[in-house]
């Protein structure tokens, strides 16, 4: 999504990568490749991480895996919920944006940051889109460029290859049950099981207020 967005000359002010600490090694390996691509296109990018401040159990944790071990549980996706994504990916990105001067200026003027979400038109992402469709926020407007372009996963892969980049595997935390699935083609990046490396990405641009999230 980011590649085509930039190729069309559309505004993009920053790209965020949320590091849960437990994405796949292939994702960690791809991240610096894409960061170099963003550097060449003069795109600001940052890695953000959830930093826990209060702990109910011992020892303290600083990654999703350590969170599960400390609390003797599994990732919430194992129980059909998505709170781990909210906690480890969305929350640290939103926290960064709250301190981002362009966003604060836009909100101060009564505007919204536009969040570009990378759901494509494939059946799997269409189900994810249906779950989020109609969500309203006081801070963000949500746009879905890949769906507006009519792109499915194969179209995304073709575009990535045309840019001369390797196709990253599907973003997923390796302790999660989704790693039993076979779908390994992906649009964007995330990480592996090394704390301190980066992963789930969002892109931000300022027009009347733009923020974008890239899922794959």
H helices within the chain, ranges in order?
A: 2-7, 25-40, 64-70, 83-85, 91-98, 101-108, 123-132, 145-149, 153-162
Span between the terminal Cα atoms of the chain, in Å: 10
For the segment 2-17, the average pLDDT, to the nearest whole number, is: 93
Closest alpha carbon to 19 in 116, 77, 96: 96
CA distances from 212 to 3, 72, 118 (A): 13, 34, 8
Closest alpha carbon to 197 in 14, 15, 19: 19
Q: Name the pTM for this structure.
A: 0.69
Q: Which residues 6+ apart lie within 8 Å of 124 measured at CB?
A: 183
Contact yes or no for 112/208 (Cβ under 8 A): yes
* Mean pLDDT of the chain, nearest integer: 74
* Neighbouring C-alpha atoms within 13 Å toward the C-beta of 76: 10
Cis peptide before 145 (omega within 30 of 0): no
Euclidean distance between CA atoms 132 and 96, whole angstroms = 22
Contact yes or no for 144/133 (Cβ under 8 A): no
Q: Report helix angle 101-108 to 91-98, nearest 10.
A: 70
- pLDDT value at residue 75: 54
Euclidean distance between CA atoms 15 and 13, whole angstroms = 7
Over the stretch 73-118, which tens digit does the pLDDT of each residue have? Answer: 655 554 454 555 666 688 889 999 999 999 999 999 999 998 888 8
Over the stretch 49-83, which tens digit does the pLDDT of each residue have? Answer: 877 766 565 556 556 556 655 656 655 554 454 55
């Amino acid at each position: 999504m980011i590649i085509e967005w930039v190729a069309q000359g559309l505004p993009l002010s920053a790209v965020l990568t949320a590091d849960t600490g437990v994405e796949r090694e292939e994702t960690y390996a791809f991240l610096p490749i894409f960061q170099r691509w963003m550097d060449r296109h003069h795109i600001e990018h940052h890695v953000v991480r959830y930093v826990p401040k209060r702990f109910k159990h011992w020892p303290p944790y600083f990654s999703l895996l350590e969170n599960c071990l400390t609390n003797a549980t599994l990732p919430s996706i194992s129980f059909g919920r998505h709170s781990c994504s909210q906690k480890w990916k969305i929350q640290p990105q939103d926290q960064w944006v709250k301190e981002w001067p362009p966003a604060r200026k836009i909100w101060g003027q009564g505007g919204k940051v536009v969040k570009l979400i990378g759901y494509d038109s494939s059946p799997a992402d269409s189900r994810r889109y249906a779950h989020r469709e109609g969500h309203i926020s006081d801070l963000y407007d949500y746009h879905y460029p890949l769906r507006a372009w009519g792109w499915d996963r194969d179209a995304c892969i073709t575009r990535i290859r045309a840019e001369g980049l390797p196709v990253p595997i599907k973003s997923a935390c390796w302790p999660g049950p989704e790693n039993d699935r076979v779908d390994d083609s992906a649009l964007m990046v995330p990480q592996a099981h090394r704390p301190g490396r980066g992963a789930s990405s969002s892109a931000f641009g300022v027009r009347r207020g733009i923020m974008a999230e890239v899922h794959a």
